[in-house]
Amino acid sequence: MDTRPPDSAPPVLAEYAFAAVAAAAVTVVCRALDPYLAATNLAMLYLLGAAAFAARGGRGPSVLYSVLAVLCFDFFFIPPRLSFTVADGEYLVTFGVMLAVALLISTLALRLRGEAESARAAERRAETLRDLSQRLAGTRGVEPTLEAGTRHLSEVFDAEVAALVPGEDGRLSARAWSGRDPALADKELAVATVVYNTGRAAGLGTDTLPVSTALCAPLLGSSGPVGVLRVEPRRPESLLDPERRLLLDAFANQIALALEAERNQDDARRSQLRAETERVRSSLLSAVSHDLKTPLAAIMGSASEVLRSGRLEKTAGSLVENIRDEAERLSHLVNNLIETTRLESGVNLHKEPHPIEEILGSALERLSRRLGDRPVRADLPENLPLVPLDAVLMEQVFVNLIENALRHAPGAGPIEISARAQGDAVVIEVADHGPGLPAADLERVFEKFYRGAPGGAGLGLAICRAVVEAHRGSISAANRAGGGAVFRFVLPLREGK
């Protein structure tokens, strides 16, 4: 439905002229009925004319008609006739009441006409909004939604319409338009960017750049702006009408909500795909990891048995020892894979109060051969409280952190391990004297499969974070002032902390 206002309203002078003609016409009718009706009844005819004229004319012409009606009634029908002189003063009250009633009738008639016009305008707006809703409901995807919206606005407002939304780089660009391809200048894009950032319209009919030939209106979703509509009407004055602006705002809100719904559905689909991909990958890792443990155990056992026999030449012994070491390394990787899938599927912690030095001692025993002559300095106070934890999982945390230090801080520098009580928690640190961590890696080192340096699979630190967080603790990485990296994790001393 076309909601454009009419091209031209009846000229104001013509309305006033029509008021004079209407008063004259009623006077002619009253003159014809004068021999048969009393003066009070003739006054009723003038009042009837006031109601009829108010149904068509404006407020000013209606007032003019009311004044002319009283004057004509006085001049032609009140003695002495054909004179504005009033012989009986009581008629002055009649004139006053007649004028007041005529003005009241005109006011009520104008109000009723205004309400009727408002109702018709609301009906037109509702119909156009319903048409837009039907168009948007029949589309799927961001770009089809924008194309349907711009086409509808172009038809309703007789304008060139473009929809601008931010890309991956955050910059606005036209993704849908009606008619010609909008080659927007830098200045026009700048205006649209300001509208997007502030959520306020700018351009034609606004306080911001009112001399512009186009109006930029924000597409406001429930969580903020999602884009900008640029509307350039062929008749700029059509957007200066408040009713038209309200309709445009309603269209913009409807398009914004549809666009936001499409994006939410896209996000949901991507999240579902990521979850499914992660599930398949976890299942694959779990299956492959368990299948690898048996041959790895056989390789490690055979290599260790051959080395214990002592019947190998030096070169062969070195090769067998290398086979054993690499098999152990691969076994550790497989264990990490199994632990990762177990943590992701949800694990029940078996918490019991344990001394940290006991957990650390078990971890160092597991790594004794890999540590070799590498010094490990432990600073654990004697009065360190017992910590409620899962001993098996926490031992794996120490093993992974120490192995990380061995891998990334080669040489003879010591590995330093310390613990201290701090409030209702115990703070544990594992530090090395290596080159430290790049600033960009401080947060990412705990991501699964993220490898900041060669030599690892990117699972050890991810397991550390998962175990610590399962204990309701926290873990972080930082660079030491004197060089090297330090990994710090905090374990609560009370359940629920």
Q: Which two three-digit tokens encode residue 480?
A: 């030491």
pLDDT at site 4: 46
Distance (Å, whole) CA 286 – CA 283? 5
Nearest to 442 by CA among 492, 482, 488, 403: 488
Within the chain, how many helices (H) and strands (E) appear? 12, 12
Residue 59 CB contacts under 8 Å (≥ 6 apart), including other chains:
106, 107, 110
Q: Are strands 376-379 and 415-422 parallel, antiparallel or unpaired?
A: parallel
Angle between helices 314-344 and 242-309 (to 10 degrees): 150
> Where in the chain are the domains?
12-134, 139-266, 352-492
Nearest to 102 by CA among 70, 143, 55: 70
Distance (Å, whole) CA 33 – CA 124? 45
Indicate the SS3 state at residue 433.
coil
Distances (CA, A) of 424 to 14, 360, 391, 491, 492: 88, 21, 19, 9, 6
pLDDT at site 384: 94
- Tens-place pLDDT, residues 425-458: 999 999 998 888 888 788 888 887 676 654 455 6
Burial of 309 (0-12, 13-18, 19+ CB in 10 A): exposed
Nearest to 58 by CA among 23, 12, 2, 94: 12
pLDDT at site 474: 94
User: What is the residue whose two structure tokens read 């152990």?
Assistant: 328
- Tens-place pLDDT, residues 255-309: 888 888 877 887 788 888 777 766 666 665 665 555 566 666 777 777 777 767 6
Distance (Å, whole) CA 471 – CA 491? 7
User: What is the residue whose two structure tokens read 């008063």?
Assistant: 23
Cross-strand bridge partners of residue 376 = 415
Distance (Å, whole) CA 226 – CA 287? 44
Distance (Å, whole) CA 62 – CA 104? 10
Nearest to 225 by CA among 169, 269, 176, 263: 263
Q: Which two three-digit tokens encode residue 73?
A: 């009634």
User: What is the residue whose two structure tokens read 């884009």?
Assistant: 227
User: What is the residue whose two structure tokens read 């018709």?
Assistant: 120
- For 352-492, the fitting CATH number among 1.10.287.3510, 1.50.10.10, 3.40.920.10, 3.30.565.10 is 3.30.565.10
Distance (Å, whole) CA 260 – CA 266? 10
Residues 444 and 454: beta-carbon distance below 8 Å: no
Q: What are phi and psi of 367, to 5 degrees?
A: -100, 10
pLDDT per residue, tens digit, the chain (497 aa), is 444 444 444 456 887 888 788 888 888 888 888 888 888 788 888 778 777 777 666 777 777 777 888 888 888 888 888 887 777 767 677 767 777 877 777 777 777 777 777 777 667 666 776 776 777 777 777 788 888 888 888 888 888 888 888 887 888 888 888 876 677 888 888 888 899 999 899 988 888 888 888 899 999 888 888 899 999 888 888 788 887 888 888 888 888 888 888 778 877 888 887 777 666 666 656 655 555 666 667 777 777 777 676 666 666 666 677 777 667 767 666 666 666 666 665 667 788 999 999 999 999 998 888 888 889 999 999 899 999 998 988 998 999 899 888 888 777 789 999 999 999 999 999 999 888 888 878 888 888 767 665 445 567 888 888 889 889 999 999 998 878 899 999 999 987 54
Q: Which CATH number is associated with domain 139-266? A: 3.30.450.40
